[in-house]
Amino acid sequence: MVALSGWRGRPGRLPGRPPLRAFLLGLATGVVYFVGTLYWTGTVIRTFGGIPTVAAIAGVILLAFYQGAFPAVGALLGARLIARAGVAGILLVPAAWVSSEFFRGVAFGGFPWVPLGASQVTVLPVAQLASVLGVFGVSMLVALVNGIIAFALLTSGRARVVSLAAGITLLAATGVWGALRVADGSLTRAGSPVRVGLIQGNIAQEDKWKADEARRIFTTYMAMTRDAVGRGAEWVIWPESSTPFRFEDDPEGQATLRALTRELHVPLLFGSDQQEYGAADSVRLYNAAFMLSPEGATAAVYRKIHLVPWGEFIPLKRWLYFVSPIVDTLTDFSPGTSVVMLPVGRHVVSTAICYEVIFPSLMRQAVQGGSELLTTITNDAWYGNSSAPYQHFQLASMRAIEQGRYLARAANTGITGVVDPYGRVVQQTTLFEPAVVVEEVRFLTDRTIYSRIGDVVAYAAMALVAVSLIVIRPRR
């Protein structure tokens, strides 16, 4: 985070870097990173929001600058630590990075998309660290190994040898332990099995709310559900907003769906909008997930807690009076207030709607509440054939490792699939193809260390940065 290029000084010394320069270098790094990973947001607002291309590009850049501000602050803190502690301060920079990354996930509702630790989700031996310290612990490991390399390059003699040996030992120990954990695989033999059917209807976004497409969409999901049960599914999951009507407000559609679960005698989890009417004709709209019992009754309803900014609500809407003709035409969803357990026979599970699955604390809250299996329902049709669905699926996979739970994911256009408690993908679909996935998962009750202690590593990182800035006296 602190540029060292061009330095020709002696080992053990660092060039001076003004705070503003460190901040700008961190900002530049963040902007490049987030433009490269969030470029697809421009396609979404241009295609479905009717925004001109130039404005869509500007929106991506503004989002990248906002997201990039967090690593910029991390770079600034890192520069101050190095200014106070000298070259040894490099070993404190990972704590500054993790602190800024954690705040990115909680500030103003949070948007913890693609944190550094998520880069290791397919490197399973390293990713197992998430079961102990969460994704921020994996971020700390990646940053620390790189910090040790930088420290070794700027030192010589015994300090260089010791630092490299420590880095190699840390990485090797983590990798060996993680490999042994995956090879053991005891969680895949524990608990009670259930065959879950995941439905990928592949309904184009532009067709979802067309009145003349509603019957086709509904009958497609019903037929695919029968197919899943015919292949042994004991429980079926549809994606987010899968019904082409509001479930509770359409008597005919509601009756048909309840009759289906009674006919097949399986529970059904599906996404549908929900309206709640209050005093003075006030109406609240929720993005919800309904669980129907095998008898056709509503067993539970979960309302989405983390809403998508600009997609499901307008941030600072009251202050955007200068664009009120545009803002006033958009309907805000209301956030849910609590995680809800969904009954499946004698067991309870939880679900996350859309990008909620990227929030580690929400999944941890579900497991604390007794969830024996994680599910997530989403509609990634918005993102087109971009990298977003792949990023989204991998971010969801990290939650399975953190919580030591199977994760079942139903996505409208993909990626639909199952991930085991070690982050191994058991089965997944391709994008933009109708698919029915029937796979065995297990209800698990054992809890990981991370599910018990939470983001201790992030709090420790913040404390370390604060104490270091207070205790270490500035160097001349």
The residues that bridge with 436 in the sheet, in sequence order, are 199
Strand locations in 222-318 (E): 235-237, 268-277, 283-292, 298-303
- The C-alpha atoms of residue 35 and residue 93 are separated, in whole angstroms, by 24
317 is catalytic: no
- Residue 273 amino acid letter: D
Max alpha carbon distance in the chain (Å)? 79
- The C-alpha atoms of residue 17 and residue 377 are separated, in whole angstroms, by 47
Continuous H helices in 89-156? 93-104, 124-127, 130-153
- The C-alpha atoms of residue 300 and residue 344 are separated, in whole angstroms, by 10
Q: Pick the catalytic residue: 101, 234, 312, 354?
A: 354
Q: Pick the catalytic residue: 101, 208, 234, 240?
A: 240
**Residue 199 carries which DSSP code?**
E
The Cβ of residue 96 has, within 10 Å, a number of other Cβ atoms equal to 30
- The C-alpha atoms of residue 189 and residue 128 are separated, in whole angstroms, by 18
Q: Pick the catalytic residue: 208, 234, 304, 312?
A: 304
240 is catalytic: yes
The answer to whether the CB of 260 falls within 8 A of the CB of 295 is no
- What number of residues does the chain have? 476
312 is catalytic: no
The Cβ of residue 94 has, within 10 Å, a number of other Cβ atoms equal to 25
Residues annotated as part of the active site: 240, 304, 354
